[in-house]
Structure 1
Amino acid sequence: MRLRLLGDSLAAGVGSTRREDTLGPLLAARLRAAGHKVDLRVHAVPGARSADLRAQVQAAIASGVDLAVVVIGANDLTRFVPAHVGAQQLHDAVADLRRAGAGVVVSTAPDLSVVAHVPPALRHVVSAVSRDYALAQQQAAIRAGAVVAHVEQAVTPRFAADPSLFAADRFHPSGAGYRVIAEALAPAVEAVLSA
């Protein structure tokens, strides 16, 4: 099973000190434990925005892809990409992957209000903008044929309560944080494989 990780620094594993504690290897290990033979490739690029998905999708299709996990949105938020623009770019990426025969799981933009650098007075605004962006992404991804992993519902409260889930930069997840995210992603991945 050709598993491909696309997206930004979260999909690439920035923040973890060990490669095996990043999303790709964690998901691959879970799938192997369930009896799948997994070929993992990570096409994600730190700093990527939704506009950068096209090149990653092309690379994934060129290498062969059965299941694509797309994690995108944080950099769109930090760079003020309008929600309708990023959502359309995500839609197009998912549609291309689906046309290539891949199952697709999308993890939408995180709630950036839990990041330590956000001033407390702005957290409610940042949270609302993050939610609106993620909703636009969710609708676009579903229209294009993806399964959306509702990672934020499970992950945001845990990251807000436990600083050890962040890496030293207080922005990216630590290895422990990636394990929490992978656990939240797993049901959607498993749903796509069983469909």
Structure 2
Amino acid sequence: MTILRFSVLGDSLAAGVGAARPEDTLGQRLARRLRAAGHAVDLHGFGVPRARSDDLERQVGVALRTGVDLALIVIGTNDLARFVPPAIAAGQLHEAVARLVGAGSRALVVPAPDLGIVSWVPAQYRQLVTAASGQYARAQADAVIRAGGAVAAPGPELGARFAADPALFSADRFHPSSAGYGVIADALAPHVLAVAADLAA
């Protein structure tokens, strides 16, 4: 059986910050879904807390040296929070995806989430933050598609679930809890499984 080399790159969500146990992280949860679907999986995590899109160059380099068939990239939150212009962050993401694709890997990108749902954002600013988050996500999606990658956009339903259920956030009220990672993994699994099935065909 061919082994699927699955790498998770990006920021604190890729690293699993907020999860109570390693097995609750996004990479571990998605690897289990892949194995349940019949794939032999070699999982590697390269995510770094507080990473921005300009950190992807290093992460991609390490992933390619390790060997990667399917790369899941979770990025954008820190670019958005630190006011990196969308065009600049999207350009850096484009370069990372193009490099992976050029090396024969498949790249699946999770765009910036809606930070307007985070409880510590003042109510009067939430609409503005939501609009900025959407602008970021659209710029990222365009860059990813142009680079030959695919976008795994969970949709507004995921944000609505987090906004309605504080238990999906960890103690810092910013990162997901173990339960939150479960909800995110459920939303991303169809995208990941579809790419894996295409690779195996």
Range of TM-score over shorter length: over 0.9
Given the alignment, which residue of 188, 191, 200 partners 1:188? 191
Correspondence for 1:106: 109
Uncovered stretches (5+) of structure 2, i.e. residues with no partner? none
Confirm whether residue 47 of structure 1 aligns to residue 50 of structure 2.
yes
Deviation at residue 147 of structure 1 after TM alignment? 1.2
Confirm whether residue 73 of structure 1 aligns to residue 80 of structure 2.
no
Correspondence for 1:132: 135
Distance in 2 (alpha carbons) for counterparts of 1:48 and 1:154: 26
Distance in 1 (alpha carbons) for counterparts of 2:164 and 2:121: 15
Distance in 1 (alpha carbons) for counterparts of 2:186 and 2:149: 19
Distance in 1 (alpha carbons) for counterparts of 2:5 and 2:193: 14
Q: Secondary structure at the match of 1:151?
A: coil
Matches within 5 A, 1:1-195: 1-195=4-198
Tell me if structure 2 keeps the 8 A contact 1:84–1:136. Answer: yes
Q: Secondary structure at the match of 1:41?
A: strand
Distance in 2 (alpha carbons) for counterparts of 1:189 and 1:29: 12
Deviation at residue 152 of structure 1 after TM alignment? 3.8
Compare 150-159 and 56-65 and name the one that shifted more: 150-159
**Counterpart amino acid of residue 155 in structure 1:** L
Deviation at residue 172 of structure 1 after TM alignment? 0.1
Tell me if structure 2 keeps the 8 A contact 1:111–1:152. Answer: no
Deviation at residue 154 of structure 1 after TM alignment? 3.1
Q: TM-score, normalised by structure 1?
A: 0.98
Report Cα offsets for 1:70-91 as digits up to 9, x if no partner.
0000000110000000000000
Distance in 1 (alpha carbons) for counterparts of 2:186 and 2:100: 24
Tell me if structure 2 keeps the 8 A contact 1:22–1:175. Answer: yes
Distance in 2 (alpha carbons) for counterparts of 1:146 and 1:79: 25
Uncovered stretches (5+) of structure 1, i.e. residues with no partner? none
Distance in 2 (alpha carbons) for counterparts of 1:50 and 1:154: 25
Percent identity among equivalent residues? 59
